[in-house]
Amino acid sequence: MSTAGEQARATRAMDIEAQAAAWLRRRHFWNWSQIDQAELDDWLDAAMAHRIAYWRLNAALARTERLAALRPTLEAAPPPERRLAPAIVKIAAAIAVIAVIGAAGAMVMSQPKERVFSTPVGGHEMISFADGSRIELNTDTILRTRMTTDRRDVWLDRGEAYFQVKHDPAHPFVVTAGNGRITDLGTKFLVCRDARNLEVALVEGSVRFGTAEGKTSAHSELLKPGDEITDAAGAVSMTKQSQQELENELSWRRGVLVFKYTPLAEAAAQFNRYNRKKLVIADPAVAQLTVYGTIPTNDVDGFIRVARSVLGLRVADRGNEIVISR
């Protein structure tokens, strides 16, 4: 009997195979452009499993094309209509192979099958889709997707994710996070959700942010680049961020955290998201001290050095906690 882990891996492998088949269909039977090639290259670079699936299916297609091309000619000088037969056979064979290897993909895309992605504390994962869209998951994040031929739906249950969406008006891309609903209008945006707050920051393009009817009144807002909207228990507010501030918020994609005169308590809280060993600020006065600099997300010792050497604080290691005080 297979374990849940084995079943998840099998499902993931089938999804990757479906995506590879979709790319082959696009490349052989659509108007292929440089933009399409760039998107395919990004998808192939995202994971070795993507490349293996694509190369294997492409090799199967190439073998079928060679077999069709080697079909013997029955007459030395066939009439014009007969000369078209090998080409027609070749095309038909290629289409047949793509149809076969894409059968799993067609089933996955036609059924509203939900997939779950998650990262552990300190984890980081990139998810790529056949349409060119990508989602990058930060630490301790749970995200669900349901992709069909008509819609692209995503739920951020916990954590933080950076979305780079390939806009398609005929197939809406909608992210639901708690009471918030983000509808893509061709964009790159960041969504962060915890037990109390929801934050959406727009990097490029535009999105429509809305809240559902419920205990609070519905809210709808069209975001522009630099807009950051916060929903704290139904109280919605919006601020404007500079390009540099947005880049600092996305520094986790590079494996670092950027602090600019950040209160020590806030810096510790951010750092704790990436590490199981937690920083505890024991003194309220110490919590208000500020830090400035860039620290790798997993560099606990680096944070301790800043506390000791720069701020002159005491640090006590107490098992799963590091207590910082005067």
CB 275, CB 300: distance < 8 Å: yes
Torsion on CA atoms 297, 140, 126, 204, rounded to nearest 10: -80
- Domain boundary among the residues 78, 110, 142 is at 110
Q: Which long-range contacts (CB under 8 A, 24 or more apart) does 190-196 make?
A: 190/160, 190/161, 190/162, 190/163, 190/246, 190/249, 190/250, 191/156, 191/160, 191/161, 191/163, 192/138, 192/159, 192/160, 193/156, 193/157, 193/158, 193/159, 193/160, 194/158, 196/232, 196/233
Give the mean pLDDT of 48-53.
Answer: 84
Q: Indicate whether 157 and 217 sit together in one domain.
A: yes
**The most confident of 55-64, 147-156, 245-254, by mean pLDDT:** 245-254
Give the mean pLDDT of 301-319.
Answer: 92
Q: Indicate whether 188 and 259 sit together in one domain.
A: no
Report helix, strand or coil for 236.
strand
Please state, in angstroms and rounded to a whole number, the distance separating the CA atoms of residues 76 and 61. Answer: 29
pTM above 0.85, yes or no: no
Q: Indicate whether 14 and 92 sit together in one domain.
A: yes
Q: How many residues does the chain have?
A: 326
- Domain boundary among the residues 110, 143, 169 is at 110
Q: Is the pLDDT of residue 302 over 50?
A: yes
Q: Indicate whether 102 and 135 sit together in one domain.
A: no
Give the mean pLDDT of 60-82.
Answer: 53
Q: Indicate whether 237 and 299 sit together in one domain.
A: no
Candidates 251, 150, 167, 259; CA nearest to 204 is 167
Please state, in angstroms and rounded to a whole number, the distance separating the CA atoms of residues 216 and 178. Answer: 13
Q: Indicate whether 26 and 120 sit together in one domain.
A: no
- Domain boundary among the residues 79, 110, 141 is at 110
Q: Indicate whether 138 and 211 sit together in one domain.
A: yes
- By residue range, what is the domain housing residue 302? 255-325
Q: Which residues pair with 145 in a beta bridge?
A: 115, 154
Residue where the block lists tokens 């919006």: 238
pLDDT-based confidence at 1, cuts 50/70/90?
very low
Q: Indicate whether 274 and 205 sit together in one domain.
A: no
Q: Indicate whether 154 and 217 sit together in one domain.
A: yes
Please state, in angstroms and rounded to a whole number, the distance separating the CA atoms of residues 98 and 26. Answer: 10
User: What's the total number of domains in the chain?
Assistant: 3
* pLDDT at 58 (0 to 100): 78
How many other C-beta atoms lie within 10 A of the C-beta of residue 37? 11
CB 182, CB 200: distance < 8 Å: yes
Q: Indicate whether 165 and 259 sit together in one domain.
A: no
Instruction: In the chain, count H helices and then E strands.
Output: 10, 16
Lowest-confidence range among 135-139, 182-186, 209-213, 276-280? 209-213
pLDDT-based confidence at 56, cuts 50/70/90?
confident
Q: Indicate whether 22 and 135 sit together in one domain.
A: no
The enclosing domain of 201 has a CATH number of 2.60.120.1440
CA end-to-end span of the chain: 57
Candidates 154, 181, 185; CA nearest to 169 is 185
* pLDDT at 109 (0 to 100): 44
Q: Indicate whether 44 and 75 sit together in one domain.
A: yes
Hey, what are 320's tokens?
Answer: 């799963």
The enclosing domain of 279 has a CATH number of 3.55.50.30
Spatial CB neighbours of 248, under 8 Å, sequence gap ≥ 6: 258, 260
Give the pLDDT confidence of 78-123 residue by residue, as tens digits: 555 445 455 444 555 555 555 555 554 444 444 457 889 999 999 9
* pLDDT at 60 (0 to 100): 74
Give the pLDDT confidence of 213-244 residue by residue, as tens digits: 544 446 788 999 999 999 987 788 999 999 99
